[in-house]
């Protein structure tokens, strides 16, 4: 009964804290709300007229939505890079960052689910996918595996921080015996969500561009570069705008993680390019399309030739300790790395999988305004959720928000 009372008080307090703030905070939230409303309007058009309002066709049947979904699974998986050292290795440096990381994972996962729902032709019959009520094609379909791991990961990333914050809120110390097993589980789980998402594509013999043993490992490497890069950027913002103290040491350590992952990612990219272009086969056509265009069709060239130089540049900057430890340079490097991987793991991965088609047909894909509107709306939703979670978490962590302390 007491717990219920604390819980209701926590809900009330967090509602209070999320609805109050500086002018900048209100402008930020209003801006996000506006984008979300635009996104919802675009989605309502899509609901009415069907997916024909998007740029997708029978030839390229997955586009911007699935691209963003794939990328965001990686961002969500990256929370583990902070969880592992903090909870398991008891590395104190990360403790400040870990709640932020998990909040980011929750926001990213909700965005993932939103993107998947936005991509569905029949969102009203999605209950067909709920085990028990519907028919769940487990274990044959990798999509069912993905549903399980994503929702499981969402549960883990909500429950662990909630437990910790709930204890802190009451002025108690969280019991490691309760949350450490969960944290260890989430370490394995994070690897699973990204590997399973890679297998979604990797398992299709119809699409040689994806049907590639390196796809899974490369997903992991790029995720562990892009995710922590985003966390560094978020921590930088939090350091500037709140009283939440994040030590330089923490950011430097995360920077190290980003660097190693970006380097591994680059090695794998070289390996992939070598395989595709040294002895090109019929199966290299998608890669040719992506990097050089095929038969005059070159829609993806600007994207990939933005991504590759940015990726190399960021990795080179990060590799030199002197540059990496200069925070201004680090932030820039993290930002361009994030953008580069977003292009590479999104557009650069999903779209060429369909081009050329099964019989060599080259039909290009360009997202429509409505598709972009929905996509921006979902990103705004993610930012909105993260802001709320982070604001509450920071207040509790800094002791400003406590039970019966009013």
Contact pick of 79, 147, 195, 388 for another protein (by CB under 8 A): 147
Nearer to another protein (CB atom), residue 269 or residue 349? 349
- Cα four-point dihedral sign 88, 94, 99, 101: negative
User: How far apart (Å, rounded) are the C-alpha atoms in residues 64 and 346?
Assistant: 8
Contact pick of 36, 56, 333, 380 for another protein (by CB under 8 A): 56
Contact pick of 3, 23, 124, 177 for another protein (by CB under 8 A): 124
Contact pick of 9, 17, 18, 57 for another protein (by CB under 8 A): 57
Contact pick of 9, 17, 18, 144 for another protein (by CB under 8 A): 144
In whole angstroms, the minimum distance from the beta carbon of 54 to another protein comes to 8
User: How far apart (Å, rounded) are the C-alpha atoms in residues 402 and 391?
Assistant: 14
Nearer to another protein (CB atom), residue 7 or residue 49? 49
x/- track of binding to another protein for residues 308-347 (CB under 8 A): ----------------------------------------
In whole angstroms, the minimum distance from the beta carbon of 223 to another protein comes to 21
Contact between 41 and another protein (CB under 8 A)?
no
* Candidate ranges 16-24, 57-65, 157-165, 223-231; the one touching another protein (CB under 8 A): 57-65
Contact pick of 132, 279, 281, 322 for another protein (by CB under 8 A): 132
Count, residues near another protein per rule CB under 8 A: 48
Nearer to another protein (CB atom), residue 95 or residue 283? 283
In whole angstroms, the minimum distance from the beta carbon of 364 to another protein comes to 15
x/- track of binding to another protein for residues 158-177 (CB under 8 A): --------------------
Structure tokens at 194: 């990204």
Contact between 396 and another protein (CB under 8 A)?
no
SS3 per residue for the chain: CHHHHHHHHHHHHHHHHHHCCCHHHHHHHHHHHHHHHHHHHHHHHHHHHCHHHCCCCCCCCCCHHHHHHHHHHHHHHCCHHHHHHHHHCCCHHHHHHHHHHHHHHHHHHHHHHHHHHHHCCCHHHHHHHCCCCCCCCCCCCHHHHHHHHHHHHHHHHHHHHHHHHHHHHCCCCCCHHHHHHHHHHHHHHHHHHHHHHHHHHHCCCCCCCCCCCCHHHHHHHHHHHHHHHHHHHHHHHHHHHCCCCCCHHHHHHHHHHHHHHHHHHHHHHHHHHHHHHHCCCHHHHHHHHHHHCECCECCCHHHHHHHHHHHHHHHHHHHCHHHHCCHHHHHHHHHHHHHHHHHHHCHHHHHHHCCCCCCCCCCCCCCCHHHHHHHHHHHHHHHHHHHHHHHHHHHHHCCCCCCCCC
Nearer to another protein (CB atom), residue 52 or residue 243? 52
Structure tokens at 321: 């300790």
Asked if 35 contacts 377 with a C-beta cutoff of 8 angstroms, the reply is yes
The interface with another protein within residues 233-262 (CB under 8 A) comprises none
Contact between 219 and another protein (CB under 8 A)?
no
Give the contacts of 217 (CB within 8 A, at least 6 positions apart).
Answer: 268
Contact between 281 and another protein (CB under 8 A)?
no
Nearer to another protein (CB atom), residue 56 or residue 156? 56
Contact between 206 and another protein (CB under 8 A)?
yes
Contact between 292 and another protein (CB under 8 A)?
no
Nearer to another protein (CB atom), residue 59 or residue 275? 59
Contact between 296 and another protein (CB under 8 A)?
no
The interface with another protein within residues 345-364 (CB under 8 A) comprises 353-354, 356-361
Contact between 140 and another protein (CB under 8 A)?
yes
Q: Which residues bind another protein (CB under 8 A)?
A: 49-52, 54, 56-58, 61-62, 116, 119-122, 124-129, 132-137, 140-144, 147, 200-201, 203-207, 353-354, 356-361
């Amino acid at each position: 009964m007491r717990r219920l009372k604390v819980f209701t008080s926590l809900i009330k307090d967090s509602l209070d804290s999320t609805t109050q703030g500086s002018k900048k905070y209100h402008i930020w939230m209003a801006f996000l709300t506006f984008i979300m409303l635009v996104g919802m309007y675009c989605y309502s058009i899509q609901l009415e007229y069907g997916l024909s309002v998007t740029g997708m066709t029978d030839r390229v049947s997955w586009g911007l939505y699935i691209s963003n979904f794939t990328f965001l699974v990686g961002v969500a998986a990256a929370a583990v890079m902070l969880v592992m050292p903090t909870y398991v290795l008891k590395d104190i440096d990360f403790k400040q960052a870990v709640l932020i990381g998990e909040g980011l994972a929750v926001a990213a996962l909700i965005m993932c689910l939103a993107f998947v729902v936005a991509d569905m032709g029949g969102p009203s019959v999605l209950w067909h996918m709920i085990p028990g009520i519907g028919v769940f094609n487990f274990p044959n379909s990798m999509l069912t595996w993905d549903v399980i791991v994503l929702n499981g990961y969402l549960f883990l990333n909500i429950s662990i921080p909630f437990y910790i914050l709930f204890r802190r809120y009451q002025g108690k110390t969280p019991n490691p015996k309760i949350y450490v097993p969960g944290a260890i589980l989430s370490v394995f789980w994070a690897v699973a969500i990204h590997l399973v998402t890679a297998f979604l594509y990797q398992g299709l013999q119809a699409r040689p561009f994806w049907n590639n043993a390196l796809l899974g490992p490369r997903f992991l490497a790029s995720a562990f570069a892009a995710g922590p890069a985003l966390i560094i950027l978020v921590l930088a913002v939090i350091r500037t705008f709140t009283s939440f103290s994040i030590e330089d040491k923490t950011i430097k350590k995360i920077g190290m993680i980003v660097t190693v992952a970006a380097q591994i990612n680059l090695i794998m990219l070289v390996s992939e390019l070598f395989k595709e272009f040294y002895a090109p086969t019929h199966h290299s056509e998608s890669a040719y399309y992506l990097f050089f265009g095929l038969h005059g069709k070159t829609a993806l060239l600007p994207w990939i030739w933005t991504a590759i130089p940015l990726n190399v540049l960021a990795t080179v900057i990060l590799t030199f300790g002197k540059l990496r430890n200069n925070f201004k340079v680090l932030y820039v490097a993290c930002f361009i790395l994030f953008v580069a991987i977003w292009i590479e793991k999104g557009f650069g991965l999903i779209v060429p999988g369909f081009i050329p088609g099964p019989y060599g047909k080259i039909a290009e894909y360009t997202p429509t305004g409505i598709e972009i509107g929905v996509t921006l709306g979902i990103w705004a939703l993610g930012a909105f959720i993260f802001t709320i979670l982070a604001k509450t978490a920071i207040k509790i962590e800094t002791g400003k928000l406590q039970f019966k302390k009013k």
